Structure 1
Amino acid sequence: MSKPDSSKLHIAMFPWVAYGHFIPFLHLSNKLVQKGHKISFLLPKGVQPKLENMNQYPNLIQFFPLVLPHVDGLPPGAETTSVVLGSQTKYLAFAVDQTRDQVDSIFKVLKPDVVVYDFWFWIPDLARQLGITPICYVVISSMTMGLNTKIVTKETTVEEVMELPPGYPSSAVRLKDEEAAIMLFKAMDFGSGLSFQQRLRTTLIESDAIVFRTCREIEGPFLDYVAKGFGKSVLLTGPCLPETKTEQLDEKWVSWLSQFESNSVVFCSFGSEGMMQKDEFQEMVLGFESCGLPFLVALKPPQGCSTVEEALPEGFEERVKGRGLVYGGWVPQELLLHHPNIGCFVNHCGYGTMWEFLLADCQIVLIPRIGDQILNTRLMVNELKIGVEVERGKNRRVSKESVSEAIKFVMDKDNETANVLRANRAKLKQALSNRDLQEEYINSFIQALQDLVKK
């Protein structure tokens, strides 16, 4: 068998228009360029400046900006999910679908060997017409994707969604009724006359192979289930996180964290897209106040507020002064997770965030909000047993008491269950941190791409 880098590939990348997709596609691009391959990265025009600092090889990874047409229902200039409401996402998908001619023109000039894409159901047809191999790169868990072997339509009931597909590898991910109701969004219109699930299934079924950003050590049985369910080769990139960064945590964060003891600070972040209602936001921060531990909470201002400060409960800042900080701007999440004084991470269990905390040393508290986050949480809590999920009350509301209790539970050094969670996570981190493991996955992935191109 030839070495993985014996034949150089030109690979086009075309992710869904969300930062939770741009970033893992760029991480994979950096890994492939390290091995001598060339990358052409398609993305909306306004996104390029925000990703350039993550491009470790600007001479070898070239961005190709797309101009998205205006579509009724979208705010002017909207290019990513971070600036639209959930109900507007279908218009965003439709806008990108209208760039097919731009993509066709770019590909005719570039002539890449492979296009790695997600969610663009029309890419396989366009690619094959130009002799390009289409590969679908999935940046959510295979456990979540396995549930899409079951068709969801507008006639599907909540009870039917709660039933796992035949042969599904685990009953530990079974959804509660209110969570199953959320999954009915798959039947909703998602632009270009397709439902969300129709778009997703077409994307998978028409590809030459399905690639997951994961490893068998985490999701083995689910990967086999997807391969069988969709009748496709499943390839793996491994965790595909960037190398240990040389950049240091900004002095303002180092200075603030240094006031506290090792493993004592509770850090909370819900990613770039999670926006709360004001009452929900206030309940959340009151939970951090009542846990009694130092905390750093990084949340976007809730709906109707321009800053987090104006949304805080009355007297909150005075009561937590010197112990707690609520910050409304962007924070370097990955660097913060590796600071020795961070002892607990409260998050939404988005798939990208999940990989970051799997390689950190802090305790994990999860508050999932939407579909795949709920399933990722089941994987972490029920299958791998490395964290806890905050209990929700009526109408899926999260109370300050449930937030506080979950934090105190995992941070109690005398709690036997909390120590088991800590030990399980440490063991998993050790396996995933093995540099040879990532190297083996990326080499095998490249070899598989080369074999597909030769067919």
Structure 2
Amino acid sequence: MEPKFHAFMFPRFAFGHMILFLHLANKLAERGHKITFLLPKKAQKQLEHLNLFRDNIVFHPLVVSPLDGLPIGGETASDIPTSLSSSLASAMDRTRDQVEDAVRIGKPDMIFFDFAQWVTEIAKKNETKSVYFITFSAAAASTLLVPGLRPDNLDVLPPGYPFSKVLLRGQETNAMSFLFYPFGEGHTIYERNSKGLTNCDVILTRTCLEVEEKFCDFLGSQFQRKVLLSGPILPEPDKIIPLEDRWNLWMNRFEPGSVVFCALGSQIILEKNQFQELCLGMELTGLPFLVAVKPPRESSTVQEGLPEGFEERVKGHGVVWGGWVQQPLILAHPSVGCFVNHCGFGSMWESMVSDCQIVLLPYLPDQILNTRLLIEELELSVEVEREAGLFSKEKLSVVVRSVMEKDSELGNRVRKNHAKWKETLLRHGLMSGYVNNLVEALEKLVQNINLE
């Protein structure tokens, strides 16, 4: 009988991170392993439906102490504005005693973590293995987290960086300065992640050799750690709750491949003028569209921020929605033909295994680097051009039309390349093979067998 292990998981208090950790937990639990999932108490109810193996995955709620500046109930990144991210990181740090008590009592074989760099100290003290789980691309990690990075040399990469077009350029290097902003008391984002990568037992990244082999090799050489790969870790379609009737019935009204779906993730909140440009750009395409984004700054609902007369003009063929949507199931709907997104890592993989044309509108540095990977390395998508960091409704509509028109040379080229990559990623046995290899490596790690 194959050996079973018990793993703790402690992701950053943001749903993009927690959901990915939970998808991994499901893959491990499916193979008989036990998982204790540490998360804010409030988040448990919102994630319970994604726990597919309740006998093997147990939620361990943490009490998040309120801090000055955090709103009541502000326990995850979705509960707060981006400006309070540092305070939330401090609140996460203050759960350290709870985490340490849980590890001491539960005696796990390993603990998966990301932004809480102090987990490695708890692991060593309790003779537990620590696994740093990278929740963004290896290409982004290779650029943003390399040892020795400083605010004054953001555009300088160390010797041996993979020959690649995946680089930040020009004004985009300014975006990297966020890595050195305070993120919790006495820490920056860069320090948290680089310390975690330097002090963990092994590094795990959500990717595959077919897409990012050279970046994974570079990461391992920079941090002198074994880099394990999980594969894309996408939820099984037959295990997902069916698409809500609200969207299924609405999209059924349109021709196959005609609807433009836009989603920018849970962290991106647009300024009102950019929110309106996004809406007007969708209107200009002349195509049916569904936009799922957060309300713009200084607006409590998306309706408050809409351009004058917009709702009446697009009635029947355009919807702007401010709440959560089932993104993978919407992408799988036959009427959806284009996906406009921020190129967050989850959206990146979901778009790659869809049949939709991909138009990218990145904001954060890791999203910019993911965009470079998809456009210039894999050549399967197109980016909306900006001037001084801003996009226009005209630029957005032109790009969407250019990939949607049947006779478009650009559209046909990216569609062809996209189809090849989708076929590669969905090749029978590829995803399960990565998880099986990961489990075998984790079992060796627990048994102190050298990982070659």
* Pairwise same-fold verdict (TM > 0.5): yes
- Give the letter for the 1:416 counterpart: E
Tell me the equivalent position of 1:419. Answer: 412
Tell me the equivalent position of 2:434. Answer: 441
Alpha-carbon separation, structure 2, partners of 1:161 and 1:125:
29
Tell me the equivalent position of 1:453. Answer: 446
1:42-101 CA-partner distances (Å, limit 9, x unpaired): 001110000000000112100001111222232222111112233321111111111111
Is the 2:164–2:377 Cα contact (8 Å) retained in structure 1? no
1:218-259 CA-partner distances (Å, limit 9, x unpaired): 111100010001111000011111111353222221221122
TM-score by length of 2: 0.96
Aligned to 2:140, which of 126, 138, 144? Answer: 144
Tell me the equivalent position of 1:375. Answer: 369
Alpha-carbon separation, structure 2, partners of 1:185 and 1:297:
28
Q: How many Å apart are 1:377 and its aligned residue?
A: 0.5
Aligned to 1:6, which of 2, 6, 11? Answer: 2
Tell me the equivalent position of 1:175. Answer: 168
Tell me whether 1:245 sits opposite 2:241 in the alignment.
Answer: no
Is the 1:387–1:421 Cα contact (8 Å) retained in structure 2? yes
1:284-309 CA-partner distances (Å, limit 9, x unpaired): 10000111111111111111112212
Is the 1:162–1:177 Cα contact (8 Å) retained in structure 2? no
Aligned to 2:290, which of 280, 285, 296? Answer: 296
1:152-202 CA-partner distances (Å, limit 9, x unpaired): 43xx33xx3223332211341222222110101112222231222111110
Tell me the equivalent position of 2:267. Answer: 273
Tell me the equivalent position of 1:320. Answer: 314
- Give the letter for the 2:383 counterpart: E
1:362-387 CA-partner distances (Å, limit 9, x unpaired): 00000001111111000011110110
After the TM superposition, which residues 71-90 of structure 1 pair with which residues of structure 2 at under 5 Å, given as runs?
71-90=67-86
- Give the letter for the 1:66 counterpart: L
Is the 1:349–1:373 Cα contact (8 Å) retained in structure 2? yes
**Secondary structure, counterpart of 2:337 in structure 1:** strand
Q: How many Å apart are 1:150 and its aligned residue?
A: 4.8
RMSD: 1.3
**Secondary structure, counterpart of 1:349 in structure 2:** coil
Tell me the equivalent position of 1:226. Answer: 219
**Secondary structure, counterpart of 2:429 in structure 1:** helix
Is the 2:261–2:291 Cα contact (8 Å) retained in structure 1? yes
Alpha-carbon separation, structure 1, partners of 2:242 and 2:146:
44
Is the 1:152–1:186 Cα contact (8 Å) retained in structure 2? no
Tell me whether 1:54 sits opposite 2:50 in the alignment.
Answer: yes
Alpha-carbon separation, structure 1, partners of 2:195 and 2:341:
31
- Give the letter for the 2:431 counterpart: Q
Tell me the equivalent position of 2:381. Answer: 387
Aligned to 1:69, which of 65, 84, 89? Answer: 65
Alpha-carbon separation, structure 2, partners of 1:304 and 1:185:
23
Tell me the equivalent position of 1:134. Answer: 130
Tell me the equivalent position of 1:235. Answer: 228
Tell me the equivalent position of 1:123. Answer: 119
Aligned residue-pair number: 446
Runs of 4+ in 1 over 4 A off after TM superposition: none
Tell me the equivalent position of 1:91. Answer: 87
Q: Percent identity?
A: 46
Structure 1: gaps of 5 or more residues:
none
